[in-house]
Structure 1
């Protein structure tokens, strides 16, 4: 028995040594490594864009730069990963402006209702000198570096278990939304009761009737199989979900200048790729959801647009909204 245990212990030790050697070899193969976290699933167009970024950086750096992608928030909630980045960790997260607004309030306007039309409209905002100034403020305020902010996930719509055509139809409806003030105020203005909740909790919450509805972009709703727990998708397009790839400024500053340039250029190119892929995929997702029993309805969004018009003023974005409106003319 004793000999048997010694053999097992020796085998375990050798296995651990082999694993450590393999990990060390992998670490030596790449001088630089970035771990990217996203709440989305591996079949989402945004994830496909991250894969493109990974492959392009590996190619461009001759294997010296390695990107690892973690879907389904494996590294933690967005807020947790942002804190890791603040501490200087080699992590990045696909995140919306609302979660950055706690550091620089201007970012919150990106989640405002009916801000711009489609990807082309919102891309104009996030590649402007105005946005660059926000990014510099973020770097100073929180130690975060924006690699690119052109990762468009689509327009957000209402997923409910009853038909909706006007704000009054949402009275008393508990609707999941992210916890940022601009999202909460928008959903409240649309007539529902905003219920902040992590994305991973949405499906069971709908299943258990802890919430009545959710607002989300089509690719994410499809990827999370929300067609199994909702009956209607009303196309309000109330928020144009634009997200960014945000990392640690301290970690980024430790990269060679050519690597910094490559990472930003490839992040922008990958964001465009992911966003265009999203545009192309939405129609397919909608057809599949309809085939699975979801009633998809186009409505006149004017009542919702009018109901949410005061959100910008309530949150102190009135003047900024005017500036953006002028930019988009």
Structure 2
């Protein structure tokens, strides 16, 4: 009986110690204040990512009365998303923004479905997916398969991605043999290889020089991102063809274990700040999609449209095969059904 009593007391002491340790990790100074390192990979101060992160900082600090401090890093602790994912896992960053492609490197392959070319047919379709049941399902997958290392705070957009290169595209045949900076593996790489292009994995930070020096023939991205980096002023970035192959998804993530150790009040404030950041970033991106297209044309870029239907038809079986491979057929079907609403 005595042994049981001591065992119970020991259990209580261990539990209290663990809870105390968790509390100290979330609030190391014990003063009720926490510091959040928030990071994205874009270096331009005008980038929509920065707008979103600064809104997150503003709301978190204001609503907490200063008990939450947010330090925003714009490419200063990593210009590659793989670096940011690693820092989030190691605790060197608390909130980061990453793309589906880089999330697959953590073993969560389902997220790459959201980057499949021509999965979404409009911005409104994208909204119905990410802000609805499918988005909630994906958030749950991310949290569970990462063992709570990642908790989704919201879905940001990165605009509508288009092709840009040394020549305009008049048809899919014009892509044959073209060296294209894009994701080289996964569903994105499969799609571009099927068009006849040759995917290249040159880093974002080196892409301007790569386009300037003929290392790659072309690239693909949304207006706010490639125009801010002056890619359209290079010989291999002058011709923009509006393929609209991706209404882009970005994941705003927080370290789930750290989040769970914050006080209930701080958790609520962080979620409110995340919601405000989603709204601010989406608005900024949509406005810049228009503004930076005009800027590109004013600075000599040539924009043309193309019949997208052949690309759409090419993408469908690739989507089907990938969804089957990652056991996401039902999710793909749900996304397609939302396109018809």
Q: TM-score, normalised by structure 2?
A: 0.82
Residue number in structure 1 paired with 2:57: 54
Correspondences of 1:13-92 after superposition (within 5 Å): 31-40=33-42, 41-72=44-75, 74-75=77-78, 77-92=80-95
Instruction: Return the alpha-carbon distance in structure 1 between the equivalents of residues 30 and 212 of structure 2.
Output: 46
Instruction: Return the alpha-carbon distance in structure 2 between the equivalents of residues 272 and 36 of structure 1.
Output: 17
Over 3 Å counting, the alpha-carbon distance change for 1:283 and 1:29 in structure 2 is farther
Among 257, 267, 287, the alignment partner of 2:264 is 257
Deviation, structure 1 residue 170: 0.8
> Which deviates further from its counterpart, 43-52 or 288-297?
43-52
Correspondences of 1:19-168 after superposition (within 5 Å): 31-40=33-42, 41-72=44-75, 74-75=77-78, 77-102=80-105, 103-142=107-146, 143-149=149-155, 151-168=156-173
- Equivalent pair of 1:164/1:234 in contact (CA under 8 Å): yes
Deviation, structure 1 residue 314: 2.8
Q: TM-score, normalised by structure 1?
A: 0.85
- Equivalent pair of 1:82/1:247 in contact (CA under 8 Å): no
- Equivalent pair of 2:57/2:273 in contact (CA under 8 Å): no
Over 3 Å counting, the alpha-carbon distance change for 1:76 and 1:285 in structure 2 is closer
Residue number in structure 2 paired with 1:210: 215
> Which deviates further from its counterpart, 62-71 or 95-104?
95-104
- Equivalent pair of 2:134/2:334 in contact (CA under 8 Å): no
Q: What per-residue deviation string (whole Å, max 9, x for no partner) do you get for residues 267-324 of structure 1?
A: 1221122112211222221111111111011222112212222221232355432121
User: 2:274 matched to 1:267?
Assistant: yes
Where in structure 1 do 4 or more consecutive aligned residues deviate above 4 Å? 27-30
Among 206, 223, 232, the alignment partner of 1:201 is 206
Q: How many residues align?
A: 302
SS at the partner of 1:116?
coil
User: 2:307 matched to 1:307?
Assistant: no
Deviation, structure 1 residue 197: 2.8
Give unmatched runs, 5+ long, in structure 2: 1-28
RMSD: 2.1
Deviation, structure 1 residue 203: 0.9
Among 244, 269, 278, the alignment partner of 1:237 is 244
Instruction: Return the alpha-carbon distance in structure 1 between the equivalents of residues 77 and 303 of structure 2.
Output: 32
- Equivalent pair of 2:175/2:196 in contact (CA under 8 Å): yes
Q: What per-residue deviation string (whole Å, max 9, x for no partner) do you get for residues 51-84 of structure 1?
A: 1111111101101112122113533521222122
Over 3 Å counting, the alpha-carbon distance change for 1:168 and 1:30 in structure 2 is farther
- Equivalent pair of 1:99/1:180 in contact (CA under 8 Å): no
Instruction: Return the alpha-carbon distance in structure 1 between the equivalents of residues 215 and 99 of structure 2.
Output: 25
Deviation, structure 1 residue 164: 0.7
SS at the partner of 1:243?
strand
> Which deviates further from its counterpart, 222-231 or 318-327?
318-327
Instruction: Return the alpha-carbon distance in structure 1 between the equivalents of residues 137 and 269 of structure 2.
Output: 21
Deviation, structure 1 residue 161: 0.7
Instruction: Return the alpha-carbon distance in structure 1 between the equivalents of residues 167 and 126 of structure 2.
Output: 31
Q: What per-residue deviation string (whole Å, max 9, x for no partner) do you get for residues 170-206 of structure 1?
A: 1111101135512212222333111123211211111
